[in-house]
Amino acid sequence: MWEYFYTVCYLSSAKSKLPDVNPVKLLIIIRKFQPHDFPWVIDIEKKVFDEHDPYFYMQFYETCSEGFIVAEINGFVVGYIVGFRMSEETGRIFSFAIHPAYQNLGAGSALIREIINVFSKTSVSEIILEVRQSNTRAKKFYERHGFYSIGVAEKYYNDNENAVLMRFQLER
Ligand SMILES: CC(C)(COP(=O)(O)OP(=O)(O)OC[C@H]1O[C@@H](n2cnc3c(N)ncnc32)[C@H](O)[C@@H]1OP(=O)(O)O)[C@@H](O)C(=O)NCCC(=O)NCCS
């Protein structure tokens, strides 16, 4: 079956760690997940999260592939985001990570912008997600992208850590 495959490119101006060296221009390709990306996604998930379940990712690909998006730099898959529609009005971000070696280059921002764009073409009017209460960096990242906190789910994770629930309102 022919699969719709999109690519959105972002040029990120990554700051050089060396003084007097100009910012490096990076091409970030944003496209739909393909089955051959599976090992990259699982590798990133293992590096970034304590809990992981490869089974979910193939299931997402089979059931809601529109919201399964990856970021590529220099031919490597460096990050992914998985979002799906919980109801007519509500989209949910299920998992989102950038390989530790490729964080702070703008790939996360490109992915979150793209998932918002994908949801904006549907009937969804809000996007929700959960983030660990201790994950200050991700909370700040989401806030910078227009998400705000709407509550706390106590002992949400297996290790009993609370989750902060965050919401993004889509303009209609
Ligand atoms: C949260 C996460 C997805 C963000 O992805 P990212 O690719 O690092 O995000 P970006 O590079 O777009 O932006 C992150 C930071 O880089 C900065 N940045 C973005 N583009 C930049 C650039 N070209 N040059 C320098 N800095 C840049 C941003 O200002 C931001 O600053 P911060 O350190 O205050 O957050 C990533 O850090 C991650 O995978 N974290 C671990 C997993 C996780 O927490 N997932 C979310 C759980 S719900």
Report if residue 113 sits inside a domain: yes
Report if residue 62 sits inside a domain: yes
Report if residue 38 sits inside a domain: yes
Stated length of the chain: 172
For tokens 């101006």, the residue is: 13
Report if residue 154 sits inside a domain: no
* Pocket around ligand 1 at a 6 A CB cut-off: 12-15, 48, 96-98, 103-109, 131, 135, 137-138, 140-141
Which helix (H) or strand (E) segment is 140 a member of? helix 136-144
> What pTM was estimated for this model as a whole?
0.92
Report if residue 136 sits inside a domain: no
Instruction: Please give the mean pLDDT across all residues of the chain.
Output: 91
* Structural domains in the chain (count): 1
pLDDT of residue 26: 86
pLDDT of residue 78: 97
Give the separation between CA 78 and CA 44, rounded to whole angstroms.
Answer: 8
Domain range for residue 9?
1-79+100-121
Report if residue 67 sits inside a domain: yes
| Residue from 130, 156, 157, 171 carrying the catalytic annotation | 130
Report if residue 159 sits inside a domain: no
DSSP string, 54-112: HHHHHHHHHH-GGGEEEEEETTEEEEEEEEEESSSSEEEEEEEEE-GGGTTSSHHHHHH
Average pLDDT over residues 85-89: 95
How close is the Cα of 54 to the center of ligand 1, in Å?
Answer: 24
Report if residue 21 sits inside a domain: yes
